Amino acid sequence: MTKETPIFEAKNIVKEYSGHRALDNVSIKVPKQSIFGLLGPNGAGKTSLIRIINQITAPDSGEILIDGKPLQREHVSQIGYLPEERGLYKKMKIGEQAVYLAQLKGMPKKQAKQELMLWFKKFEIDTWWNKTVDELSKGMAQKIQFITTVVHRPQLLILDEPFSGFDPINTNLVKSEILKLRDEGATILLSTHNMGSVEEICDNIALINNSKKILGGKVSEVKEQFSEEKYIIEFKGTGVAFANAVWGGWEMLNNKQLDEHHAIATIKLTGGTQLNDFLKGIINAVEIQSVNKVIPSMNEIFIRAVENESTTEEEVVNENTNQDG
């Protein structure tokens, strides 16, 4: 049951900045204890949405629900936010400012200190407590920012480009911490350009482009939606025999002869041809060793979806300029 009620829901959010519409009727649902990827090119409106969730700005219209209740000031302590543009006080001791930030999220001072010490130990930075940010590298500062985002055990974690600036080792550390937090009950809203990590850890995604949501749903479903009838077939025999076995209903995208008797063909079925029917046709000509469906990567989906959008967008713009002229 609880899995069905989303912990976080944005309904028909509209936000305008002096004539420019930053968010146009955007709705997303984030199921409890899942990792949600908020994707989109730069300037698409992701940060605007995130700022609305954090109550830094208010939407012009639309509604945000947390656990089914309208978003309120008290929810601040249940949200952890790691902005894309993040920083720390340069001259303030690290421990002190971590405690301060935790206190601002509503944690009592003593508890904040204890919990922070645990996190500092986990990230092997407990010796830095009394240092200032000036003395740290960028990666080190990122660790502290991550800790201050999660220390008050928020129900909803909003991470804007959490992996930028981390080396691969720390990226993995943060990734595994995110997964651990999810397993412990947190819900994570992740905004990123790093499609690899989306594929790796996200359960659901929404793709925002030009202020609108153009794509959304479970990662597996989105992939299914974007997959075409493309297959990679490995076989014993020659490409010529393969090509001549079935007439019509498919096209050869790629054919690679590995050696005299081995080849790999990438094909696309057209005109509603079923894979089984196709295989029946070629099975007499060559010996099939493996058949794999080509699944598009998130990267591909992202690019295709955004490019589709922008071509239609461009046409509209062109029409408009024509009318104006």
Partner 1 sequence: MGKIGLIIKREYTTRVKKKSFLLMTILGPILLVGFLVGAIWLGQQEEKDLEILVLDDTYVLSNTLLQSEKYHLTSSQDEGIENIDAGKTFLKESEQYDIFLYLPANIVSGNTSVGKLFYKDAPSSNVQRHLENIVDGSIERLRLKELKISNEDYARLKNKVQLHTIDVVSNEEKNVGMRAGVGFIFGLMIYLFIFMYGIQVMKGVIEEKSNRIVEVIVSSVKPFELMMGKIIGIMFVGLTQFIIWVMLSLALTTTLSLTIFPDLMNPENVAQTAQIEQVAVGVTVEPVNTDITETGKEFQDLIFNQIPWGLMIGLFIFYFIGGYLLYGSLLAAIGAAVDSETDTQQFMLPVTAPLIFAYIVAAMAIENPNSAAVEWCSQIPFTSPIVMLVRVSMGAEGLGWAIVLSMSLLIATFIGTTWVAGRVYRTGILMYGKKASYKEMFKWLRHK
Q: Which spans of this chain sit near partner 1 (rule: CB under 8 A)?
A: 17-18, 51, 54-58, 60, 76, 79, 81-83, 85-92, 100-101, 103-105, 145, 148-149
Judged by CB, which is closer to partner 1: 141, or 282?
Answer: 141
Q: State in angstroms the smallest separation of the CB of 82 from partner 1.
A: 8
Judged by CB, which is closer to partner 1: 165, or 239?
Answer: 165
- How many whole angstroms separate alpha carbon 143 and alpha carbon 124? 10
Instruction: Please tell me the chain's helix, strand, coil percentages from 3-state DSSP, rounded to the nearest 5.
Output: 40, 30, 30
The number of beta carbons lying within 10 Å of the beta carbon of residue 12 is: 13
Q: State in angstroms the smallest separation of the CB of 134 from partner 1.
A: 11
Q: Which residues, in sequence order, are CB contacts of 305 under 8 Å at separation 6+?
A: 207, 209, 214, 215, 226
Q: State in angstroms the smallest separation of the CB of 99 from partner 1.
A: 10
Q: State in angstroms the smallest separation of the CB of 175 from partner 1.
A: 21
- How many whole angstroms separate alpha carbon 195 and alpha carbon 203? 13
**Per residue, what are the HEC states of 30-64?**
EECCCEEEEECCCCCCHHHHHHHHCCCCCCCEEEE
Question: Dihedral angle at the C-alpha atoms of 77, 78, 82, 84, nearest 10 degrees?
Answer: -100
Q: State in angstroms the smallest separation of the CB of 151 from partner 1.
A: 12
- How many whole angstroms separate alpha carbon 299 and alpha carbon 284? 37
Q: Which residue has the tokens 């130990």?
A: 121
Q: State in angstroms the smallest separation of the CB of 87 from partner 1.
A: 3
Judged by CB, which is closer to partner 1: 89, or 315?
Answer: 89
Judged by CB, which is closer to partner 1: 58, or 317?
Answer: 58
Judged by CB, which is closer to partner 1: 133, or 233?
Answer: 133
- How many whole angstroms separate alpha carbon 276 and alpha carbon 234? 15
Judged by CB, which is closer to partner 1: 108, or 185?
Answer: 108
Buried residues in 131-155 as b, exposed as e (16+ CB within 10 A): ebbeebeeebbbbbbbbbbbbbbbb
Judged by CB, which is closer to partner 1: 78, or 299?
Answer: 78
Q: State in angstroms the smallest separation of the CB of 133 from partner 1.
A: 8
Q: State in angstroms the smallest separation of the CB of 61 from partner 1.
A: 10
- How many whole angstroms separate alpha carbon 258 and alpha carbon 250? 22
Judged by CB, which is closer to partner 1: 89, or 256?
Answer: 89
Are 226 and 297 contacting, i.e. CB atoms less than 8 angstroms apart? no
